[in-house]
A and B are shown apart, each in its own frame.
Chain A
Amino acid sequence: MSPPVPSKILTDDVSLLMVLIDSNPHFWSSIKPHFSFSKFLSHVLAFLNSILLLNQLNQVVVIATGINSCGYVFDSSSGSVSQRAESLLPKLEEFAENDESLSERDDDSGNGVGSSLLSGSLSMALCYIQRVFRSGPLHPQPRIICLHGSPDGPGQYVAIMNSIFSAQRSMVPIDSCVIGIQHSAFLQQASYITGGVYLKPQQLDGLFQYLATVFATDLHSRNFLQLPKPVGVDFRASCFCHKNTIDMGFICSVCLSIFCKHQKKCSTCGSIFGQAQTRDPSASQQRK
């Protein structure tokens, strides 16, 4: 068992910002007419520099989320002098090369946009935060911001939920800024559970303004600022047979799977349900 993390000195305005950048090439090429990766990068770099200007003790770490791998591309605390955000560019290029070399197939045209490895980068961010917790006297006030656009990969559901729960446990809020066309259910849940902010900007060319207004605030100031909230997170269940959202339904008493109509047998665990009671005893009498 690892030794317990010692308690730290809390300071008001310090923040450790973990930025997860979506580097899914398919996504960026599909969104090209609206928003290009270079414009995106320029907004983000300006934002990162301004974070570093807010407080001398602020720290920024950038992790790129590819489709085959994830990697650290920028760490403001490495080196003797705090670096400017532009130094992430060569590392990002390297990362893209690496990611490309890892992909197996060449012809993926018309396949739809795949998902990027959000679970991997979330885990890497959380690991970095844990490391910082165990060193130095100051509490880093960490938070994670996901700049994400790729669609959610259903295969990563369990891994992402696990990272969300560990973030919740370490009290690290996960902010989400969704730059894609669709909303992301995973990130909605993540922000809701960890107490972060979820935002889908209406105008992507004002991205810097969104970032500076909403996501630049440190954790202490959030207590007296009002940040945008989503209208609601839908926690309603959907039935296993038709994937419809339902309010009232039938539940298997063995495995708790949900069905909208009465079934003879549970399709998940195979248990057989009993007979439904007939309402009208006189009807059976008449039959006799």
Chain B
Amino acid sequence: MANDPSSPVKLNVEFRTIKGHKFTKDGTKQALLNLTQDQGGNYIFEFENFPDRNVCKDFVASAIALSGEAGRTVPEKSAVPIQDEQLSAAEMERRIKLLQEDSDLQKLHKQFVIGGILSEAEFWATRKKLLEQNYSRRPKQRVALKNDMWSTKPLADGQSNRVTFNLTPEIILQIFAEKPAVRQAYLNFVPNKMTEKEFWTKYSRAEYLHSTKNVIAAAAEAAEDEELAVFLKQDDMLVNEARKKIRQVDPTLDMEADEGDDYMHLPIQDHGLPRNDNKDVLDSQYEPYRRSFSQHLNQHAAVVLQGRVIDVELGDTRSVAEALARTKHAELAKDASDVYLDKERLERISRMTEIEDLQAPRDPAVAPLSIKDPRDYFDSQQANAFSTLGDTVSGAKQLKCSVSTREAYCSLKECISEIKFQGLTEPTINSEVAFKVLNGLAQNISSNKYHLGRNPNESILDSLPKITREELLLHWSSIQELLKHFWSSYPITTKYLLTKATKLKDAMSQIYPKLQEIKESVQSDLRHQVSLLVQPMLQALDAAFAHYDADVQNRSARSGERPNGF
């Protein structure tokens, strides 16, 4: 943005955000100092002479150095070593918070990251989702356009005849968005016909004239000054836009929308709004200079609701104007070439205006279900059940019924009548048999109790002493974490992965004997259960070790073949 001493914009940037500075050499055309921010923006300052610039440069350099040190304080609580990763303060905060909330995570973190087995980046790489969850609780909102229409009201200085206008980049953006004619005029006039300052002065004059509501004076001045006339007349571009918008209204949504809703073409009576002041009809030559409040309000509302359509920085007016012009052009082009959209709209209209009663029944568009036969799945379960209960033989032996249905029913009915006539057998049960049954049951129950405990739903872990249980669980989660990183580093293609795999393998081999110790330290009656628990952990570790050794062997065999090595 050019140097405008009348503009009240003050640049206030904290040195914390400034990462570096660049400058032009002494003796070149311009003395510039470029301050780069860490987010990518930069500020360019132009000085009148080189000595001034150099003084500033030195000051800036020392300020940056100071703020750099101050900003990089390591938080005491977690003592996390920052490695080659660039971490923003927000990211660090998130991680610390997560560690504080979850004590298991903190234990793992302490064990691996502080112990040097895994790096920070690796540890958090798989936990991105956790971090994001915390972060997304704060919704990111963008600031919308201001809904303030009177910002261009001039401040009349009572003492002298000066009227001051304040123009900030924000206001300029709004003006360009609301009044395409002004934007077009800017692109045309500046910097060919007049400077920016002159442009805005003229614009301000036009605004002042409008605010006095003196249409005749406006017409008079417009006649004199061509450029001023642009600002005073009706905005043709806006008019065209409005018309186009009306045509694009979907009749299935709003059947009533028609040209009468075109707010730019409202009759001057303002569509029902009572106007107390001048009802006198003016000459037709003054018509173009009259501005209608409702038109202005509607246009302003449309722009505010549309929101920010461009992302250009607001410093440079020209670029803002160009960006807006570009967006408008793109929209126009899109509409013109969007035949498909039109076709789709027509189709939709015709579909919605159909009378349902008169339509033929339409088949719903669905994909056919393919439901599998539950028998397929179930048969396997039966085999499982038998093998568990130790009944290996009877699974194969199917009962054969060689009797026809009729005969079967007959024999059933015979049995029933037999009892009816003969009564119950006496004794119901043979005493020896009963005795045997009782003994068998008692033995069964006592042996089961010995093996399983009272409650089948109780798990083994609950019956262990607390310390053992905690240790086992901790080992389990550490093994999971290590194995996850271990398997993800295969196939090994870089040196980094090789060192990582070796480190992980060493950590795992340290846990291995600890598990053996736990097995031995437990009481003898629980030993079997605990070894059953520990077994899958040992198996997983063994599989990892085997894979690692095989890989090392392969690698050495291959490097033996190729002289240039891996």
Contact = CB atoms under 8 A, between A and B. Distances in A.
B444 interface: yes
A273 interface: no
Contacts, number: 214
Interface in B393-441: 394-395, 397-409, 411-413, 415-420, 424-425, 428-430, 433-434, 436-438, 440-441
Interface stretch (B101-109, B137-145, B228-236, B447-455): B447-455
Contact of B445 (A99, A111, A227, A240): A227
Contacts of B379: 154, 243
B389 interface: yes
B238 to A, nearest CB: 53
A103 to B, nearest CB: 6
A230 B560 CA distance: 59
Interface residues of B, number: 68
Interface in B358-412: 370, 372, 374-391, 394-395, 397-409, 411-412
A274 B374 CA distance: 28
* Main SS class of interface, B: helix
Given A208-B428, A229-B456, A279-B491, A234 B385 contact: yes
B429 A106 contact: no
A236 B384 contact: yes
A184 interface: yes
Chain A contact-residue range equals 35 or more
Contact of A206 (B388, B401, B419, B433): B433
Contacts of A99: 409
B397 to A, nearest CB: 7
A42 B420 contact: no
B558 interface: yes
B449 to A, nearest CB: 6
Nearest to A88: B416
Contacts of B448: 228-229, 231
B269 interface: no
Interface string A108-151: 11111100000000000000000000000000000000000001
Nearest to B384: A234
A29 B403 contact: yes
Contacts of B406: 100, 106
Contacts of B415: 28, 36-38, 41
Contacts of B387: 234, 245
Contact of B412 (A96, A151, A155, A231): A96
Contacts of B437: 201-203, 206, 209-210, 213
A25 B438 contact: no
B131 to A, nearest CB: 24
Interface string A151-194: 11011011000000000000000000000111111001000100
B189 interface: no
Contacts of A31: 399
A26 B394 contact: no
B476 interface: no
B378 to A, nearest CB: 4
Most chain A CB within a 10 A radius of its CB, from B401, B402, B444, B491:
B401
B463 interface: no
Contacts of A200: 389
Contacts of A37: 411-412, 415-416
B408 A29 contact: yes
Given A106-B404, A210-B437, 5 more contacts: A30-B399, A109-B403, A152-B382, A202-B440, A240-B376
